[in-house]
């Protein structure tokens, strides 16, 4: 007997299934394409906070999820025996002009009360282990940002779920008594948009590259809108593009070539290396950019967890927690901005 069916084996669906399995529910994850088959199978894995300014419920929710992520992923990996690649090593950002420096100073001050001593956003005088230029000779460093290997993290979750009795299927099962959560990304948002005649989503294509570059203990870097994320396996991920118009969702092209060239202007050492992997796929982005969590807008009695463009892995633990609280306890702690009725 299955208590909960989760449609979609990306990070959001798997995290919901894990939260349910920890409560003793019998879960079944359905995905015809298998684990981490689309956006959750990416290579970048930057878990980074919103800047500490213009604070709102989404930023606070993400902040709390990032604070809790280390404990969450350590526990998943302990149960599964699989390394998710999670490490909270911080993030470095060069400050290239006086306007940016003033902005960074204001954010450093606001972080002291917004982040409540749980993390730091500070201006520093060194780029640490990285040889990254800054025109002001100053950099922002926050110690909340973390890295994760997206695909490995999904397989760590899947193994942990299996050890708690969870099932994985590629074909639908019939169970009238089970509750259902839809975590099917772009496909579900497209379906909702068509049936409700509401502009509910945009599929945004991303392209990224992976280099063999041993800097696994370095902080990640964010410069000129490019993420550089060192991974525990001795690789460095560079990405991603954000493309609203594209002809092929999972083909790499000149957009990635430009990104690679830009990355080499920021970290010249990369000129000595060729990418060992090129990646592309589409990512779900709701019309409001917020995650979508709660009762499904077109599937009566079902639930949805979706969206979270660029912040899905960072918010997954907290999103799954509030959704399972709603499903199992009837306790609704979902932020108003995340509810499906407020997305379109």
Instruction: Look up residue 117 and give its two tokens.
Output: 């001593």
**CA–CA separation, 335 and 343 (whole Å):** 12
pLDDT-based confidence at 202, cuts 50/70/90?
confident
**CA–CA separation, 331 and 315 (whole Å):** 19
Counting other chains too, the contacts that 65-70 makes at CB distance below 8 Å and 24 or more residues apart are 65/314, 65/315, 65/316, 65/317, 65/318, 65/319, 66/119, 66/144, 66/145, 66/146, 66/314, 67/118, 67/119, 67/144, 68/317, 68/318, 69/146, 69/314, 69/317, 70/146
pLDDT-based confidence at 258, cuts 50/70/90?
very high
Fold exhibited by the domain 4-85+140-199+288-342: FAD/NAD(P)-binding domain (3.50.50)
The answer to whether residue 344 scores a pLDDT higher than 70 is no
The answer to whether residue 326 scores a pLDDT higher than 90 is yes
The answer to whether residue 196 scores a pLDDT higher than 90 is no
pTM of this structure: 0.95
For 111-151, what is each residue's pLDDT tens digit? 999 999 999 999 999 999 999 999 999 999 999 999 999 99
The answer to whether residue 152 scores a pLDDT higher than 80 is yes
Percent of the chain at pLDDT above 90? 87
Q: What is the pLDDT of residue 291?
A: 93
Residue at token pair 């080499």:
264
The answer to whether residue 199 scores a pLDDT higher than 80 is no
Least confident of 80-84, 118-122, 175-179, 196-200: 196-200
Does residue 287 sit in helix, strand or coil? Answer: coil
Q: What is the pLDDT of residue 200?
A: 67
Instruction: Look up residue 59 and give its two tokens.
Output: 């930023």
């Amino acid at each position: 007997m299955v208590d909960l069916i989760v449609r979609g084996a990306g990070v959001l669906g798997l995290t919901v299934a894990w939260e349910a399995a920890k409560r003793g529910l019998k879960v079944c994850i359905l995905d015809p394409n298998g684990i981490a088959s689309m956006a959750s199978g990416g290579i970048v894995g930057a878990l980074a906070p919103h800047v500490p300014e213009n604070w709102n419920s989404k930023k606070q929710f993400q902040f709390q999820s990032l604070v809790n992520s280390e404990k969450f992923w350590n526990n998943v990996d302990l149960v599964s025996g699989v390394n998710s690649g999670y490490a909270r090593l911080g993030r470095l950002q060069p400050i290239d002009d006086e306007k940016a420096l003033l902005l960074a100073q204001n954010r450093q001050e606001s972080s002291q009360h917004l982040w409540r001593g749980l993390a730091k956003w500070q201006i520093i005088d060194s780029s640490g282990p990285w040889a990254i230029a800054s025109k002001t000779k100053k950099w922002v460093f926050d110690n909340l940002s973390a890295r994760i290997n997206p695909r490995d993290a999904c397989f760590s979750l899947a193994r942990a779920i299996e050890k708690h009795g969870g099932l994985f299927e590629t074909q639908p099962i019939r169970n009238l008594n089970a509750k259902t959560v839809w975590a099917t990304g772009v496909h579900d948002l497209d379906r909702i948009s068509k049936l409700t005649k509401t502009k509910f989503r945009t599929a945004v294509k991303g392209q990224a590259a992976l280099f063999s570059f041993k800097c696994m203990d370095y902080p990640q870097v964010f410069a000129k809108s490019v993420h550089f994320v060192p991974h525990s396996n001795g690789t460095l991920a560079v990405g991603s593009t954000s493309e609203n118009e594209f002809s092929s969702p999972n083909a790499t092209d000149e957009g990635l070539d430009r990104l690679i060239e830009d990355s080499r202007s920021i970290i010249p050492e990369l000129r000595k290396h060729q990418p060992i992997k090129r990646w592309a796929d589409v990512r779900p982005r709701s019309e409001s950019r917020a995650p979508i969590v709660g009762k499904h807008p077109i599937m009566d009695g079902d639930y949805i967890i979706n969206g979270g463009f660029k912040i899905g892995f960072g918010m997954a633990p907290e999103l799954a927690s509030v959704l399972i609280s709603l499903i199992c306890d009837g306790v609704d702690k979902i932020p108003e901005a995340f509810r499906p009725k407020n997305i379109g």
